[in-house]
Copies of this chain bind each other. A is one copy, B any other.
Amino acid sequence: MATQRILDFLATRRPSGPCLVVDLDVVRDNFRAFEKAMPESKIYYAVKANPAPEILRLLASMGSSFDTASVAEVEMAMDAGAPAERISFGNTIKKERDIARAFALGIRLFAVDSVEEVEKIARAAPGARVFCRVLTDGEGAEWPLSRKFGCVPAMAVDVLRQAKALGLDAYGVSFHVGSQQVDLSAWDRALADAKMVFAKLAEEGITLGMVNMGGGFPTRYLRDVPAAQAYGQAIFEALSKHFGNNIPETIIEPGRGMVGNAGVIKSEVVLISKKADNDNLRWVFLDIGKFGGLAETMDEAIRYPIVTERDADEKSPCVLAGPTCDSADVMYEKTPYPLPLSLTIGDEVLIEGTGAYTTTYSSVAFNGFEPLRSYVI
């Protein structure tokens, strides 16, 4: 939801063109809610969700750790005041020279999901800690993770054994239940797999110490989602069930859950038209689309709340599209979006829950449009 601070900013500054406004007060509240809900877990903010320096500085000052996807993100986190020991290089796909650069910067915690990656780390970051990502089924997530990251749990045992053999610190297991996960039992299933890896390696004398439970904590889009407290409770119960009195160190990596609901995109209606006179369906074209920051509408995966000043008026279904000459730049077509019949060219609309995965997804100059501007207040 747009906070009063965001509404005041837009009313006062009247920025031209589409833009994202992020309210740091919401980020602060979210961080505290995660701390409260999961007091035993270390919070690694997923920098890729929104790397705005103001957000990174705030979280660094509150004691957050950081999950990074590249050397550039490592440097951003350090520039924001995070010491190297609070930064994880969480991408399982890394060039060996980037591992070496991160190691030189002091990074000692790396994600892997294959023996091949372990070998690179053993060469470029000798002695570092590694955790192996296991595949989860992603069921229940609105933005499922497919099979790109992780390996089956049996293979994770091999990967961590090899890490140990090559002089690395075989440190733990990670999983990701899928972004915007609303099924609480997903964590239970993943923790069962993690425990299996712990147990198999313990039989060989290798003691793991950490479970990285990833992200997936949802932000509020159109439906209510269980609040952070409920997630914390469910996850604590699953940890106790599988690990008993021997609960390992745990890490969480909220991204969307930390900043998603802190941001609102202001956009303008560029055109409202029909394709035929007898067509009931209106096409509404905004000055932002799939290539300008709303990439997560791909396959209509994420359905953002859209607020207009005419929401009290009667609504009818619209196809919602972006401003580029690309026919793929359509946000909602299979499931049209209800918008006020009185909506008019030139109207401003607010697209809520857009604090995560918008600015950096934006294309650099597609159709000559500049990337999404962002204001952090």
Give the B-binding residues of A (Cβ under 8 A).
Answer: 46-48, 51, 68-73, 76, 90-96, 113-117, 120, 135, 143-152, 154-155, 158, 268, 270-277, 283, 285, 287, 291, 295, 298, 321, 323-330, 333, 345-346, 359-371
Oligomeric state, in copies: 2
Taking a contact as CB atoms under 8 Å apart, the answer to whether A70 and B152 are in contact is no
- A71 partner residues in chain B, CB cutoff 8 A: 368
Taking a contact as CB atoms under 8 Å apart, the answer to whether B327 and A145 are in contact is yes
Instruction: Tell me the nearest residue of chain B to A329, going by C-beta.
Output: B148
Taking a contact as CB atoms under 8 Å apart, the answer to whether A325 and B90 are in contact is yes
Chain B nearest CB, measured from A294 CB (Å): 12
- A146 partner residues in chain B, CB cutoff 8 A: 327-328, 330, 333
Chain B nearest CB, measured from A136 CB (Å): 11
- Report the Cα distance A345→B115, complex, angstroms: 12
Instruction: Tell me the nearest residue of chain B to A365, going by C-beta.
Output: B360
Taking a contact as CB atoms under 8 Å apart, the answer to whether B362 and A94 are in contact is no
Q: Can you spell out 7 A-B residue pairs with CB atoms less than 8 angstroms apart? A: A72-B365, A93-B270, A114-B273, A146-B333, A295-B363, A362-B363, A364-B371
Taking a contact as CB atoms under 8 Å apart, the answer to whether B117 and A273 are in contact is yes
Taking a contact as CB atoms under 8 Å apart, the answer to whether B327 and A148 are in contact is yes
Taking a contact as CB atoms under 8 Å apart, the answer to whether A323 and B91 are in contact is yes
- Report the Cα distance A76→B369, complex, angstroms: 12
Chain B nearest CB, measured from A119 CB (Å): 9
- A363 partner residues in chain B, CB cutoff 8 A: 295, 360-364
